[in-house]
Chain A
Amino acid sequence: MSRQAKKPRFIKPPNRLKAKVGLGGIDERLLDKAQTYIKTVEINFKPTAKQLLDDAIANFKKIASAKTQNDKNNAQNNLANSIMQIKANAGMFGYQLMGEIAASALHFIENCANVNQDALNVIDVHIKSMQLILANNLKGDGGQEGYALVKELEKACSRYYKKYPED
């Protein structure tokens, strides 16, 4: 497996997993059982979420106070990573609404080329929403009110893009 560019060589590796598990599939009931487990698992996600939100807030502040574009870019990248972790994990541990807000924030942060004050305001309201959800232990997707909040946050992002089309 030389690392110099060369004519592509295609290899069909042995399918070890297939050789072990054989034919068939999985009993649907096991998939349902696993899904029920995900929905009812008693793993306390709050401390992890709190830590991730604290990291997000610290990076948010770093963006706001960055002296150079490089510092700003680094903080924005770190903020995206913290928010991504919230998006990834919150929904797995019963905080679906928080996960959806994090998803909206992540999409915005990843697509925002130049974080100005208006962009900071958009990010801020996302973070504040997640903080309040966690502080009040609002699990689930928040029903119609939760849906309306996520839609409003997404609209705020859209208004920003309309105002700053170069972003």
Chain B
Amino acid sequence: MPYDLSTAKILIVDDMVPMLTLTKSILSIFGFKHLYTAQGADEAIKILIDKDPDLVITDWMMKPKNGLEFTREIRKNPKSPNPFVPVVMMTGFSSKLRVEEARDCGITEFLVKPFTSRDLFSRISQIIEKPRQFVDTGEFFGPDRRRKRINDYDGPQKRDADSKDVAPTNKSAVDILRKLRDEAKNLSD
């Protein structure tokens, strides 16, 4: 029997409207019905207090307040209705340092963009089935950062898998790409 996603409440925060729309639509296809959106952290905090979501999915790079500051506010603001609410951080950053920076701010899961529908659902599934315990050290309050990750992906490469979906490159496009490649070839010699 599949999950009943109809009563779960999700808050999605992203200042890029196309991405906000896309993420909301994907979650809607999954079966979530109560989806709230905000284009910035301040608006998101108001929705958070008002709606008390079960899950927050936020972008990192936002102005004036970024996703890390927003997460800190969720965890530490006395008005926050649920400082334990799981937070999925979406970002194009993927370096270890950036992941650690986000973890240190109290995020629960990290989702690197671009992502597939399976990537997004796997983070939600992780939160449902393997929730992190919280740790309060005084200096840090948030999900326990010590979960081990196995990163030994040896499946098919994306490009091979997706090759049939690639837009056919016409002759002028091929010429442009070759010209750029030649330019790159001559760099740093």
Residues of A within 8 A of B (CB): 1-6, 8-18, 20-27, 30-35, 37-39, 41, 43-45, 48, 81, 84-94, 96, 99, 102-103, 106-107, 110, 118, 121-122, 125, 128-129, 132-133, 136, 138-143, 145-149, 152-153, 155-156, 159-160, 163
Q: Which 7 A-B pairs have the closest CB atoms?
A: A88-B92, A91-B114, A140-B167, A34-B117, A88-B113, A13-B84, A21-B3
B73 interfacial by beta-carbon distance below 8 Å: no
A sample of 27 cross-chain residue pairs with beta-carbon separation below 8 angstroms, ordered by A number, consists of A3-B138, A8-B137, A13-B131, A13-B133, A15-B131, A17-B8, A17-B124, A21-B8, A22-B1, A24-B2, A25-B3, A30-B30, A33-B29, A34-B30, A34-B121, A43-B22, A84-B61, A84-B92, A88-B91, A88-B113, A88-B114, A92-B115, A107-B95, A136-B176, A142-B173, A143-B168, A145-B178
Q: Are B118 and A31 touching (Cβ within 8 A)?
A: yes
Q: A30-B31, A43-B22, A143-B166 are in contact. List 5 more A-B contacts (CB 8 A).
A: A17-B55, A34-B26, A34-B121, A110-B95, A138-B177
B49 interfacial by beta-carbon distance below 8 Å: no
User: Contact string, B146-189, partner A, CB cutoff 8 A, digits 1/0?
Assistant: 00000000000001001101111100111011101101110111
Nearest B residue to A162, CB-CB? B188
Nearest B residue to A86, CB-CB? B92
Q: In this complex, which of A5, A14, A26, A39 has the most chain B Cβ atoms within 10 angstroms of its Cβ?
A: A26
Nearest B residue to A87, CB-CB? B92
Nearest A residue to B59, CB-CB? A88
Total residue contacts A-B, CB cutoff 8 A = 234
With beta carbons under 8 angstroms apart, the residue of B93, B134, B139, B167 that contacts A5 is B139
Q: Are A20 and B137 touching (Cβ within 8 A)?
A: no
With beta carbons under 8 angstroms apart, the residue of A35, A81, A125, A138 that contacts B169 is A138
